[in-house]
């Protein structure tokens, strides 16, 4: 039986769990220098998971695509994450996803978001997450959450372009395939964060519950992105 498509969560996080950061490797991708996270063999959020700066988990392929992987390494499930070294602030954050992230194993999450280690303004976290782990806003009052179902992406179909535009007091999310608008949502309230020390982050990780320590399929996961574009508003 074919897997059902992943829910894509468009989230303004009003509560979140602090995770530790660390990086020793930098890569060039989409015209920018990114820090690759490495938790040095210790568990850390989200998940919690092990994150590695090995090319097995974060790399740029010969076509210039960013590849993120979750793999079983020496008996441990290890994930990939990278972030920009400084805040971009108000503007449009746009990612092009070229692999079928809508059909990830149901406890593997692709995250595209802003995050600050400083807890002020709820870590200034604004999210797009591909996964099937979320609750509806009515059941989860700690987040402003919107959901839509990701369409399949194949070699013959246009890539999926997801974005959010962050302006004072407002966030607008969009998802497109070519000229087709798949979904759009707006959140405008007093708890929309202002820019500060937040960084732009991309990660692929395992959502753990009920003693599960890795992807349910036992096979890991791979995601490709072809581009990230930031367009400042001011």
| Cis geometry, peptide bond prior to residue 87 (ω within 30 degrees of 0) | no
pLDDT, tens digit, 9 for 90 and up, residues 8-23 = 656 555 444 445 556 6
**Does 210 score more than 80 pLDDT?**
no
- Domain 7-232, CATH: 2.60.120.200
Which letter does DSSP use for residue 104 in this model? S
pLDDT, tens digit, 9 for 90 and up, residues 37-56 = 999 999 999 999 999 999 99
Domain boundaries along the sequence of the chain: 7-232
SS (H, E, C) the chain: CCCCCCEEEEEEECCCCCCCCCEEEEEEECCEEEEEECCCCCCECCCCEEECCCCCCEEECCCCCEEEEEEEECCEEEEEEEECCCCCCCEEEEEEECCCHHHCCCCEEEEEEEECCCCHHHHHCEEEEEECCCCCCCCCCCEEEEEEECCCCCCCCCCEEEEEEEECCEEEEEEEECCEEEEEEEECCCCCCCCCCCEEEEEEEECCCCCCCCCCCCCCEEEEEEEEEEEECC
Residue 223's pLDDT is: 95
Strand 50-51 relative to strand 32-37, pairing:
unpaired
Residue 21's pLDDT is: 57
Confirm if 164 and 9 have CB atoms less than 8 A apart. no
213 pLDDT band, cuts 50/70/90, is confident
**Does 156 score more than 90 pLDDT?**
no
Report the alpha-carbon distance of residue 6 to residue 18 in Å, rounded: 25
Which letter does DSSP use for residue 123 in this model? G
Residue 17, Cβ neighbours under 10 Å: how many? 10
158 pLDDT band, cuts 50/70/90, is confident
Average pLDDT of the residues in 61-72? 97
> Cα-Cα-Cα-Cα dihedral of 70, 126, 91, 177, to 10°?
60
For the chain, percent of residues with pLDDT exceeding 70: 79
């Amino acid at each position: 039986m074919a897997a059902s498509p992943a829910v894509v969560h468009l989230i303004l996080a009003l509560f979140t769990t602090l995770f530790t950061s660390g990086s020793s490797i930098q890569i060039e991708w989409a015209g920018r220098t990114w820090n690759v996270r490495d938790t040095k063999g210790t568990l850390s959020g989200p998940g919690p998971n092990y994150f590695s700066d090995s090319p097995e988990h974060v790399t740029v392929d010969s076509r210039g695509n960013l590849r993120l992987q979750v793999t079983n390494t020496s008996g441990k499930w290890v994930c990939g994450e990278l972030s920009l070294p400084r805040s971009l602030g108000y503007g449009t954050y746009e990612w092009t996803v070229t692999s079928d992230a809508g059909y990830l194993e149901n406890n593997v999450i692709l995250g595209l978001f802003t995050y600050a280690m400083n807890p002020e303004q709820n870590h200034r976290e604004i999210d797009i997450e591909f996964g099937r782990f979320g609750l509806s806003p009515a059941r989860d009052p700690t987040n402003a959450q919107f959901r839509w179902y990701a369409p399949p992406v194949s070699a013959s179909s246009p890539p999926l372009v997801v974005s959010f535009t962050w302006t004072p007091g407002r966030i607008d999310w969009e998802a497109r395939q070519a000229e087709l608008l798949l979904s759009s949502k707006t959140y405008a309230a007093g708890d929309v964060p202002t820019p500060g020390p937040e960084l732009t982050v991309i990660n692929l990780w395992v959502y753990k519950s009920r003693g599960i320590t890795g992807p349910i399929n036992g096979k890991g996961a791979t995601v490709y992105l072809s581009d990230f574009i930031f367009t400042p508003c001011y």
